[in-house]
């Protein structure tokens, strides 16, 4: 509550804009359902209301919602990851602070540190959401060339990795169903910051351009669980990566969740069904 009051006190105008955007978007969703009951429905009203909340927060007060990308968070708010005899957390450089491959190198250094603590790779899972899932993939692809053992598996939540922006040619229509409603302008900008001088189709920075042989070598003993929302901006990234895994003959499972939004598998108090399935 104190944190919420602090956010409100810092910028009351943003609170007004957030409240207005959330209220109007919710009203539109409800009126559409009431006035057009005979129209086919893709997203349940519950998800529409969740989208209204998250998109308003993403536009005006990103820090309001724990699942949205945020900046300027104090280190003491970071969540430590603890094992039997070690604890720590990884804070890789953001794309605006360093370009590729800085983030991958941070990930690999963290993995090497865990191995040095005596944790066997069979007890390690690479996991990430959004760009973090892409980082997990890129790190795993790098393991064979560095002589590092593969983890026991990977959990990829809404993997977002297509730096070639193929899904944005002509515009990405999921901005109308996902809470990342600025994706058509913000995603190209973020990838430019991430890539620096690297080409968006370079396999080193874009796993979707890796060869099936390279993927087979890196993931042969690493099963992958790919969780992707049917209504999210990175839907095609997850589908295409699953297709590459199939071509490479490596173990994977793709869960393409009907009508769900970006990183839905992290759960939400506004989406109880998903919370019960993945949040327990």
Domain ranges across the chain: 1-71, 92-280
Nearest 5°: phi and psi at 129?
-120, 145
Which DSSP helix (H) or strand (E) runs through 197?
none
Nearest to 255 by CA among 216, 279, 224: 224
Nearest to 7 by CA among 90, 77, 92: 77
- pLDDT class for 9, splitting at 50, 70, 90? confident
Place of tokens 């429905």: 41
Task: For residue 171, count other CB atoms closer than 10 A to its CB.
Answer: 10
Q: Residues 57-110: pLDDT tens digits?
A: 999 988 877 555 545 556 665 555 555 555 566 667 777 788 999 999 999 999
Please state whether beta strands 252-257 and 87-88 pair in parallel, antiparallel, or not at all (unpaired).
unpaired
d(CA 7, CA 157): 28
d(CA 191, CA 188): 5
Nearest to 109 by CA among 61, 148, 155: 148
Take residue 229 and report the two structure tokens written for it.
């929302």
Task: Characterize 27-63 residue by residue with b for buried, 16 or more Cβ atoms within 10 angstroms of its Cβ, and e for exposed.
Answer: eebeeeeeeeeeeeeebeebbbbbbbbbbbbbbbbeb
Place of tokens 């892409």: 134
pLDDT reading at 159 higher than 60? yes
Angle formed at CA 197 by CA 241 and CA 179, multiple of 5 degrees: 50
Q: Residues 198-255: pLDDT tens digits?
A: 999 999 999 999 999 999 999 999 999 999 999 999 999 999 999 999 999 999 999 9
Q: How far is CA 29 from CA 111, 178, 223, in A?
A: 45, 14, 39
Take residue 77 and report the two structure tokens written for it.
């708010």
Place of tokens 């620096």: 196
Residues 265 and 278: beta-carbon distance below 8 Å? yes
Please state whether beta strands 81-82 and 87-88 pair in parallel, antiparallel, or not at all (unpaired).
antiparallel
Residue 7 pLDDT = 79
Residue 279 pLDDT = 45
Which DSSP helix (H) or strand (E) runs through 44?
none
Residue 75 pLDDT = 60
From the number of C-beta atoms within 10 Å of its C-beta (0-12, 13-18, 19+), residue 14 rates as middle
Residues in the chain: 280
Return the CATH fold of 92-280.
Rossmann fold (3.40.50)
Please count the CA atoms within 13 angstroms of the CA of 244 that sit on its side-chain side. 24
Residue 87 pLDDT = 57
DSSP 280: -
Among 44-53, 88-97, 267-276, the least confident range: 267-276
Residue 84 pLDDT = 56
Take residue 20 and report the two structure tokens written for it.
């207005």
């Amino acid at each position: 509550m104190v944190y919420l009051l602090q956010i409100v006190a810092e910028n009351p105008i943003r609170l007004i804009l957030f409240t207005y955007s959330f209220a109007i978007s919710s009203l539109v969703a409800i009126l559409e359902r009431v006035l057009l009951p005979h129209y086919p429905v893709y997203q349940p009203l519950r998800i529409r209301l969740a989208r209204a909340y998250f998109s308003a927060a993403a536009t005006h007060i990103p820090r309001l919602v724990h699942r949205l990308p945020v900046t300027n968070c104090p280190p003491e708010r970071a969540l430590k990851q603890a094992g039997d005899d070690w604890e720590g957390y990884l804070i890789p450089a953001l794309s605006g602070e360093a370009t590729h491959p800085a983030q991958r190198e941070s990930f690999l250094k963290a993995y090497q540190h865990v191995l040095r603590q005596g944790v066997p790779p069979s007890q390690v899972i690479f996991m990430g959401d959004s760009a973090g899932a892409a980082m997990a993939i890129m790190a795993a692809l790098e393991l064979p060339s560095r002589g590092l053992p593969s983890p026991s598996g990977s959990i990829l939540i809404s993997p977002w990795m297509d730096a070639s922006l193929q899904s944005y040619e002509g515009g990405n229509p999921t901005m109308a169903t996902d809470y990342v409603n600025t994706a058509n302008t913000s995603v190209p900008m973020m990838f430019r910051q991430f890539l620096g001088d690297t080409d968006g189709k370079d396999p080193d920075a874009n796993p979707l351009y890796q060869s099936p042989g390279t993927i087979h070598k890196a993931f042969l003993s690493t099963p992958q669980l790919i969780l992707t929302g049917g209504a999210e901006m990175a839907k095609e990234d997850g589908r295409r990566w699953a297709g590459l895994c199939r071509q490479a003959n490596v173990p994977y499972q793709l869960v393409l969740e009907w009508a769900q939004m970006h990183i839905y598998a992290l759960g939400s108090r506004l989406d109880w069904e998903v919370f019960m399935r993945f949040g327990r």
